[in-house]
Amino acid sequence: MADEDFFRALPKVTLHDHLDGGLRPATMVEIADEVGHRLPTTDADELGRWFHQTAGSGSLREYLTTFDHTVACLQRADDLCRVAREWVADQVADGVIAGEARWAPEQHQQRGLSLDETVEAVAEGLRQGMADAESAGTPFVARQLVTAMRHADRSLEIAELAIRHRDTDLVAGFDIAGGEAGNPPGKHLPAFQRLREADFFYTIHAGEEGELASIHEAVQLCGALRLGHGVNIVNDITRGSGGRHKLGRLARFVRDQRIPLEVCPSSNLQTGVAATIGEHPVGTLLWLDFNVTLNCDNRLLGATTLSREYALVSEAFGLSTGQLAQVALAGASALFLDHAERSRLIEQLTHAWSRASVNEPAVSVQPALWQR
C-alpha cells in the first residue's frame, strides 16, 4: 500500500479543517508567552504530544476541552492573521491545493475584537498565505467557513456575519460546531433559513456523536449541503442474511442525493467512534458508494496530516490509488467555490491522480460492516 509520502506528492483538497485545531505548537508557545496564558508546557514538542494524548480520551466532550488553550492564543487580530497564514503554509507543505478553514468568530472576542474584525484578520492571513504559495510556485485556494457554536444562541448573528463578508473576505460558507449531544441542528433553524434566503453555502456538523435524528434534522429540516463527519449514518445500515447490506430510508437518501460526508478518521478514533481505522465506518461507506471525502478535522489534536489520513485508510481497507482518486475528486467537487474555479481544481486532480494510478491493478475493497 502507498505510504504518507506517496500521498503527499499528490494534490488534495481539505473541506473539514478547524483553524483553531491546527495551530503549530511553537506558535502557541510564543503567543501564550506574550498574552500571559499558561499552557500545560512551554516545550513545543511536549505541547504537541500533550494535545494528542489529551484529545484521545474517547469522548468528544473531553476532546473539545483542549480548545481552551488554542482559542486563548487567538484573541488578537495579529495572531488570527498569523495562524491563518501558517494554516495555508502547512496545507501547501502537505500537497493540499485548496481548502476551507473553519472557525468560530464568537470565540475570539475576549480581548475586545468585534466579530467583523476577527473575520477580516483571518481573511488577511489567508490572503498572505496564498500570496506566499503563489510566489513559491505552489498556488493554493483558501476560503474560510464562519462557524457558530451550537450550544450558544448566536447562530443567526453569525450567519449574518458570514453573509456580510461573503464578497470581501473569502467567506465561502457557514457551519455549526461544538458538542452535538443536546444541541440538535434544528435549534438553529432560523440561521439556516436566513442562509437559504441569501443563496449561501453551508455545511452542518452532524453524525459525529449524535444519533440518526441529528443527521435527519441536518439534512431534511435544515437543508445541509454537506455533513461534517456524518459517519453515524451507518447506524441506518443493517446486514441481513447472505451478508447483503440494507440501507434505511435516511441512509439511502444521503447516499442517493450524493450529500458529501466530511469524514475525519483519526479524529473519530479520538472521540470514540471506532477503536481502530480498520473498524471505522468509512470502509462500509466507501463500499456502499456514499459520497465520502477525507479530512483531518484538527491536525494538532490528531497529530495528523491529510496525506496521513489517505495512507491510513488505504492501508486499512486495501484501497487502490484509483479508488482514493475518487475520494480526492469527491472533495474537490464539494468545495464551496464558483464552478469555474472548482472545475479547474478537479482537472488538476484528475490529471495527477490518473498518472499515479495508470499502472496499478484494480483492487476491490470489501470492508466488514461497521458493528456497534
Is the alpha carbon torsion for 289, 293, 295, 297 positive or negative?
Answer: negative
Strand 237-239 with 245-247, pairing: antiparallel
- Contact at 8 Å (CB) between 321 and 349? no
Residue with cell string 480548545:
67
Q: Please say whether the beta carbons of 225 and 236 come within 8 A.
A: no
Which of the following is catalytic: 208, 209, 217, 262? 208
Beta strands in 152-239 (DSSP E): 171-177, 203-206, 226-229, 237-239
DSSP-derived letter for residue 163 is H
Number of DSSP helices (H) and strands (E) in the chain, helices first: 17, 10
Q: Which residues are within 8 A (CB) of 126 and not within 5 positions of it... i.e. 6 or more apart?
A: 84, 85, 87, 88, 101, 142, 143, 144, 170
Determine the length of the chain: 372
208 is catalytic: yes
Separation CA 18–CA 22 (nearest Å): 6
Instruction: Identify the DSSP state of 247.
Output: E
Please list the residues that pair with 227 across neighbouring strands.
Answer: 204, 261
Supply angle C-alpha 368, 369, 372, rounded to 5. 120
Q: How far apart are CA 98 and CA 143, in angstroms?
A: 8
Give CA–CA dist 66/61, Å, rounded.
Answer: 10
Supply 350's cell numbers: 484528475
Query: From CA 236, how far away is CA 209, in angstroms rounded?
Result: 14
Q: How far apart are CA 134 and CA 130, in angstroms?
A: 6
Angle between helices 321-333 and 339-357 (to 10 degrees): 170
Annotated catalytic residues are: 208
